[in-house]
């Protein structure tokens, strides 16, 4: 068996000392092959480079010691009826006149090998006990004669039961000593490695398992991180090239009808920024290569109008358009608004949202199936539907970060190869965009809409509530409307936040003459729609809401937004909420309401008070809360690296991208899939030597 030619794909059984039993344990760690084992990196390291003296010990800091045993004893206890005997080994070691006591629980086996006068090495954390320094359950090794303790940087691997740290270390060491290490053939071209100052593959992997020092570890990490990011960029690039070769998308041209729609059909004139963005999109659409484009613009920058321009061009070209949004409220709002605009130029719109099973719905579906051209609005229901959207030419996905990759794929699978336009206001830093959307072209919608002024933001405390109510009255009397967002709908036991129900009650008490209402996720879709319409029509002056209004909803009449318990929200989310006001011509006001201005809240929110820049806020959010802070971002496979962290490693990411662009597509030099990693790399990117 073991004679067979060895390859990275060979089973771990080919390693000396790995039999069936160990193989099973390794499997449970996701390690099947030699490659897996090479890539099974330590989660941290133990710095055992120095042998410390007892005098030098520091509370709770790991240390390596050597000394002589002056006293060893084992106390056992247990019940006579054969229950598990428990024991504790107590020992004292002495080094240069100082002593340290050691306790090892269930240390019977160890005790039988130890005797007074022996030299041993210890590794563990020392603590100051009643009688001086002590270590609980340190690693103990017997030293022969004048042998010195083994020093170095020791890897610490995640383990499974039945597998000891020592065993795994030995196994790893063995990998680099024998023939096996030669299996690690270089994957990156020499000139690339020179340019990017990357060490060889084998050296990198060895450095990660057994680093000489921090520098070596860093060099190893850099190389592997680069490799992971590079492979992903290559994959994106390959996908793009293959995709471009398809050339099967319907050609969409903006003609007279689209022009008329843009010039007379919209209630406003497109800004230069919107025009430029639309131009870019139309250029793609006139091409048989299916478009894959992300339209990125700040909250309230007017993305919808750009999308409608593209949609109209598709309809004019005799095609259907699917417009997918994450919430039903939003689907209904888009539908309601567009219906009128489209019918003015003789184009159809349908809404497919929620669970309404009606004849009307059947009729709509039938029309869609016949291939009648027009625009179909909906939520996820759009792709759950068994409908064949025959004539699908363009798919538009709004607030794209809310959807997973598979959902998008399902929708795209509906037509032949429709064009795809996704829109997002999530201010994703470039490094994340590159990783997550590497396969998309990017159009940025810049510039502000006419008459817009930045929203003014204030931070106030609960005890100023009375003044706030007064301010709200003034706002409404002077023609404004108020959104009041609470983190919760109803009271819950755990969280001390004011729920929507309670807030509405109080508002109605204090401001009985001002019409107020509410909206929340648990409402019937029609009720939601009604609430939105009442607010839009001005019948409601105050709308108390959960975060259902966060995504995309457009309420141009809203001039003041209160975010209750602002301390519960992330900065990006607050930014989305703030984006709900100041959409009309009046200056918007955003009030963050916190229980008290305690330091941490003020500190975190202060940047929000200072800037209206979504990108700056997102970066800050990421710094404070990690990538999970950006909703849905995990869905994009950003955590599927073993080592790379696109945020932390942005510089490398840019370089990896550059290098990927440089490669000729036919250069098939890499064994792609094997390095881009499957495991979940939840680990932090900090240097594991710290802590
Ligand atoms: P978002 O980019 O967040 O999706 P919307 O498309 O909802 O923003 O647009 C925000 C508001 O600005 C809407 O009320 C919309 O009607 C309005 N709007 C969009 N473009 C213009 C424009 N060129 N001039 C005036 N108002 C506009
Ligand atoms: Mg929008």
Among 5-14, 83-92, 645-654, which range has the highest average pLDDT? Answer: 5-14
Name the closest ligand to CA 580.
1
Question: 338 vs 689, which has greater pLDDT?
Answer: 338
Nearest 5°: the CA angle 266, 271, 276 is 110
Q: H or E element: which one contains 120?
A: strand 119-129
Is 245 a member of any domain? Answer: no
**Is there a single domain that holds both residue 475 and residue 561?**
yes
635 pLDDT more than 50: no
In a shared domain, residues 461 and 438: no
The CB of 305 under 6 Å from ligand 1? The reply is yes
Distance CA 376, CA 323 (A): 6
Mean pLDDT of 402-427: 65
Higher pLDDT, 135 or 331: 135
Query: Taking 90 as the threshold, does the pLDDT of residue 638 lie above it?
Result: no
Find the range with the poorest average confidence among 75-89, 300-314, 454-468: 75-89
Query: Ligand 2 centre from 652 Cα, in Å?
Result: 33
133 domain-assigned: yes
CA 12 to chain centre: 33
Instruction: Decide: 302 in ligand 1 pocket, CB within 6 A.
Output: yes
What pTM was computed for the model?
0.65
pLDDT value of residue 619: 74
Q: Are residues 379 and 527 in the same domain?
A: no
Distance (Å, rounded) from C-alpha 503 to C-alpha 28? 51
**Across 107-129, average pLDDT:** 91
Looking at all shown ligands, the one closest to residue 304's CA atom is 1
pLDDT-based confidence at residue 684 (cuts at 50, 70, 90): very low
Please say whether the beta carbons of 427 and 629 come within 8 A: no
Q: Is the pLDDT of residue 510 over 90?
A: yes
Q: Which helix (H) or strand (E) holds 70?
A: strand 62-77
* Pick from 37-46, 84-93, 158-167, 535-544: least confident: 84-93
Residue 271 in contact with ligand 1 by CB distance below 6 A: yes
CA angle centred on 186, ends 181 and 190, rounded to 5°: 145
- Do 433 and 519 fall into the same domain? no
What pLDDT, on the 0 to 100 scale, is given for residue 416? 62
Residues 419 and 466 in one domain: no
Which runs of consecutive H residues, i.e. helices, occur in 324-453?
Answer: 328-343, 359-370, 381-384, 405-412, 430-436
Beta strands, E only, 234-303: 292-297
Residue nearest atom 10 in ligand 1 by C-alpha distance: 300
> b/e map of 339-352 (b: 16 or more CB within 10 Å)?
bebbeebebbbbbb
Query: Radius of gyration of the chain from Cα atoms?
Result: 32
Least reliable range by pLDDT among 101-115, 205-219, 460-474, 662-676? 662-676
pLDDT attached to residue 451: 75
Q: Are 614 and 425 in contact (CB under 8 A)?
A: yes
Mean pLDDT of 526-536: 88
Q: What is the CATH number of the domain that holds 75?
A: 2.40.50.140
Are residues 105 and 133 in contact, defined by beta-carbon separation less than 8 angstroms?
A: no
Q: Are residues 388 and 468 in the same domain?
A: no
Q: Which ligand is nearest to the CA of 400?
A: 2
pLDDT at 432 over 70: no
Q: Ligand 1 pocket check: which of 271, 272, 300 to mutate, most ligand atoms within 8 Å of Cβ?
A: 300
The pLDDT assigned to 373 comes to: 79
Looking at all shown ligands, the one closest to residue 323's CA atom is 2
Confidence of residue 680 (pLDDT cuts 50, 70, 90): very low
Regarding the beta carbon of 401 and ligand 1, being less than 6 Å apart is answered no
Taking the CB of residue 117, how many other CB atoms lie within 10 A of it?
9
Q: Is 41 within the bounds of a domain?
A: no
Indicate whether 533 and 594 sit together in one domain.
yes
Average pLDDT value for residue range 414-440: 70
Reduce the DSSP state of residue 532 to 3 states and report it. Answer: helix
616: phi then psi, degrees, rounded to nearest 5? -60, -40
CB neighbours of residue 110 within 10 Å: 17
| 443 three-state secondary structure | strand
Residue nearest to atom 4 of ligand 1 (CA): 303
Do 383 and 460 belong to one domain? no
**159 lies in some domain:** no
- Give the number of C-alpha atoms closer than 13 A to the C-alpha of residue 594, restricted to the C-beta side: 19
Place of tokens 């229901």: 381
532's tokens: 């939105």
Residues 432 and 568 in one domain: no
Residue range 501-519: mean pLDDT, rounded: 93
| Domain end marker among 150, 168, 197 | 150
Percent of residues, the chain, with pLDDT higher than 70:
83
The alpha carbon of 261 and the centre of ligand 1 are apart by a number of angstroms equal to: 16
Percent of the chain with pLDDT over 90: 44
Ligand 1 pocket, residue 297 CB under 6 Å: yes
**pLDDT computed for residue 683 by the predictor:** 31
pLDDT tens digits along 593-621:
998 877 777 788 888 998 888 777 877 77
Is residue 255's pLDDT more than 60?
yes
Closest ligand 1 atom, residue 270 Cα: 23
pLDDT of residue 551: 64
Tell whether the model's pLDDT for residue 267 goes beyond 60. Answer: yes
Can you tell me which atom of ligand 1 is nearest the CA of 554? 7
Ligand with smallest separation from the Cα of 449:
1
Do residues 274 and 305 touch, judged by C-beta distance below 8 A?
Answer: yes
Contact 8, 35 (CB under 8 A): yes
Kindly give the distance from the C-alpha atom of residue 307 to the centroid of ligand 2, in angstroms, as a whole number. 10
Question: How many Cβ atoms sit within 10 Å of the Cβ of residue 286?
Answer: 14
**Ligand 2 center from residue 301 Cα (angstroms):** 8
pLDDT value of position 634: 39
Nearest CA to ligand 1 atom 9: 302
Domain of 519, in residue numbers? 456-629
| Position 50 pLDDT exceeds 90 | yes
Which atom of ligand 1 is nearest to 579's Cα? 3
Residues 402, 263 share a domain: yes
**Are residues 441 and 464 both part of a single domain?**
no
The residue assigned the tokens 């590794």 is 123
> Nearest C-alpha to atom 19 of ligand 1 is from which residue?
302
Query: pLDDT tens digit string along 657-666?
Result: 888 888 765 5
Query: What tokens were used for 672?
Result: 């792609």
Residue 285 is encoded by which pair of tokens? 């659409």
- Spacing, Cα 417 to ligand 1 middle (Å): 29
Q: Does the pLDDT of residue 122 top 90, yes or no?
A: yes
Q: Give the pLDDT band of residue 386 (cuts 50, 70, 90).
A: low
651, two tokens:
């510089």
Burial class for 355, CB neighbours closer than 10 Å (0-12, 13-18, 19+): exposed
Average pLDDT score over residue span 402-420:
60
Residue 412 has pLDDT above 60, yes or no: no
**What does the buried/exposed string (b/e) look like for 161-179 if buried means 16 or more CB atoms within 10 Å of the residue's CB?**
eebebebbbebbeebeeee
Q: Are residues 404 and 267 in the same domain?
A: yes
Residue ID of nearest Cα to ligand 1 atom 17: 302
Q: What is the mean pLDDT of residues 673-691?
A: 35
Least confident of 54-63, 481-490, 493-502: 493-502
Element containing residue 554 per DSSP (H, E): none
User: Among residues 429, 430, 423, 450, which one has the least CA distance to residue 273?
Assistant: 450
Residues 6+ apart with CB under 8 A from 469: 507, 510, 511
Is the separation of the CB atoms in 519 and 558 below 8 Å? no
Strands 44-48 and 481-485: unpaired
Given a cut of 60, whether residue 268 has pLDDT beyond it is yes
CATH number at residue 494: 3.40.50.300
| Residue 218 falls inside a structural domain | no
**Is the pLDDT reported for residue 627 higher than 70?**
no
Cα–Cα dist 283/263, whole Å:
19
Reported as a single tens digit per residue, the pLDDT across 319-363 is: 999 898 888 888 888 998 899 999 888 888 988 876 666 677 777
Comparing 491 with 309, the larger pLDDT belongs to 309
CA distances (Å), origin 346, targets 264, 316, 340, 375: 13, 10, 10, 12
**Residue whose CB lies within 8 A of the most ligand 1 atoms, among 266, 301, 305, 536, for a mutation test:** 305
The pLDDT of 539-565, averaged and rounded, is 85
For the chain, the straight-line distance linking the first and the last C-alpha, in angstroms and rounded, comes to 44
Vertex 689: Cα angle to 688 and 690 (nearest 5): 90
Q: Is 266 in the pocket of ligand 1 (CB under 6 A)?
A: no
Q: Which among 416, 445, 474 is the end of a domain?
A: 445
Asked if residue 74 has pLDDT above 80, the reply is yes
Distance 303 CA to ligand 2 centre (A): 6
Please check whether residue 480 lies inside any domain of the structure.
yes
Are 320 and 368 in contact by the 8 Å Cβ rule? The answer is: yes
Residue 424 pLDDT greater than 90, yes or no: no
Tokens of 575: 């930014």
The yes-or-no verdict on residue 566 having pLDDT over 60 is: yes
Residue 371 within a domain: yes
- Of 96, 126, 150, which residue sits at a domain end? 150
Residue with tokens 């005890």: 463
Query: What distance in angstroms lies between residue 596's CA and the mean position of ligand 1's atoms?
Result: 35
Domain membership flag for residue 373? yes
Task: Report whether 110 contacts 104 (CB < 8 A).
Answer: yes
What's the domain count of the chain? 3
**Distance of alpha carbon 549 from alpha carbon 128, whole angstroms:** 56
């Amino acid at each position: 068996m073991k004679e067979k030619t060895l390859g990275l794909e060979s089973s771990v059984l080919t390693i000396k000392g790995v039999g069936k039993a160990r193989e099973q344990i390794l499997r449970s760690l996701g390690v099947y092959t030699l490659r897996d084992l090479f890539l099974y990196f330590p989660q941290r390291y133990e710095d055992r480079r120095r042998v410390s003296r007892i005098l030098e010990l520091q509370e709770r800091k790991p240390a390596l010691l050597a000394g002589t045993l002056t006293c060893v004893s084992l106390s056992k206890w247990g019940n006579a009826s054969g229950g598990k005997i428990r024991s504790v080994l107590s020992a004292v070691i002495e080094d240069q006149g100082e002593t340290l006591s050691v306790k090892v629980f269930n240390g019977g086996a160890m005790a039988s090998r130890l005797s007074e006068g022996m030299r041993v090495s210890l590794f563990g954390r020392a603590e100051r006990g009643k009688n001086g320094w002590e270590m609980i359950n340190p690693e103990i090794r017997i030293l022969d004669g004048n042998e010195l303790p083994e020093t170095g940087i020791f890897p610490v691997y995640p383990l499974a039961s039945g597998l000891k740290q020592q065993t795994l270390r030995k196994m790893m060491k063995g990998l680099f000593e024998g023939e096996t290490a030669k299996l690690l053939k270089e994957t990156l071209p020499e000139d690339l490695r020179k340019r990017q100052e990357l060490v060889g593959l084998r050296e990198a992997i060895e450095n990660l398992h057994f680093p000489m020092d921090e520098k070596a570890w860093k060099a190893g990490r850099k190389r592997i991180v680069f490799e992971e990011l590079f492979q992903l960029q290559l994959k994106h690039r390959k996908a793009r090239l293959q995709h471009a070769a398809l050339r099967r998308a319907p050609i969409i041209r903006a003609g007279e009808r689209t022009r008329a729609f843009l010039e007379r059909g919209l209630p406003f004139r497109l800004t230069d920024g919107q025009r430029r963005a639309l131009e870019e999109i139309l250029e793609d659409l006139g091409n048989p290569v299916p478009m894959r484009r992300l339209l990125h613009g700040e909250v309230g920058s007017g993305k919808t109008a750009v999308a409608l321009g593209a949609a109209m061009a598709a309809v004019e070209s005799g095609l259907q358009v699917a417009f997918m949004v994450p919430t039903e409220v939003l689907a209904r709002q888009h539908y309601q608004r567009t219906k009128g605009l489209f019918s003015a130029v003789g184009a159809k719109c349908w809404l497919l949202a929620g669970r309404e099973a009606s004849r009307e719905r059947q009729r709509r579906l039938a029309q869609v199936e016949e291939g009648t051209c027009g625009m179909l609005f909906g939520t996820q229901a759009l792709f759950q539907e068994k409908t064949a959207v025959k004539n699908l030419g363009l798919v538009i996905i709004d607030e794209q970060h809310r959807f997973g990759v598979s959902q998008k794929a399902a929708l795209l699978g509906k037509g032949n190869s429709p064009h795809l336009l996704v829109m997002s206001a999530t201010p994703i830093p470039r490094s994340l965009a590159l990783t997550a959307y590497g396969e998309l072209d990017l159009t940025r919608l810049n510039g502000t809409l006419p008459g817009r002024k930045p929203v003014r933001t204030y931070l106030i405390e609960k005890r100023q509530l009375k003044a706030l109510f007064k301010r709200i009255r003034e706002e409404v009397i002077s023609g404004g409307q108020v959104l009041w967002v609470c983190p919760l709908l109803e009271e819950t036991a755990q969280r001390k936040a004011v729920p929507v129900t309670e807030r509405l009650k109080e508002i109605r008490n204090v401001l009985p003459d001002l019409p107020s209402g509410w909206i929340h996720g648990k409402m019937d879709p029609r009720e939601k729609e009604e609430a939105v319409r009442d607010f839009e029509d001005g019948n409601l002056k105050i709308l108390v809401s959960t975060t259902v209004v966060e995504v995309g909803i457009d309420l141009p009449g809203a001039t003041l937004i209160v975010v209750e318990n602002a301390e519960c929200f992330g900065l990006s989310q607050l930014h989305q909420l703030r984006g709900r006001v100041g959409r009309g011509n009046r200056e918007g006001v955003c009030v963050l309401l916190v229980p008290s201005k305690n330091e941490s809240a003020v500190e975190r929110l202060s940047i929000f008070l200072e800037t209206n820049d979504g990108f700056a806020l997102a970066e800050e959010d990421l710094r404070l809360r990690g990538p999970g802070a950006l909703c849905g971002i995990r869905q994009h496979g950003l955590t599927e690296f073993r080592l790379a962290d696109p945020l932390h490693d942005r510089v490398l990411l840019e370089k990896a991208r550059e290098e990927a662009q440089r490669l000729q597509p036919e250069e098939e030099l890499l064994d792609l899939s094997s390095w881009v990693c499957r495991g979940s790399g939840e680990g932090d990117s900090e240097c594991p030597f710290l802590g």
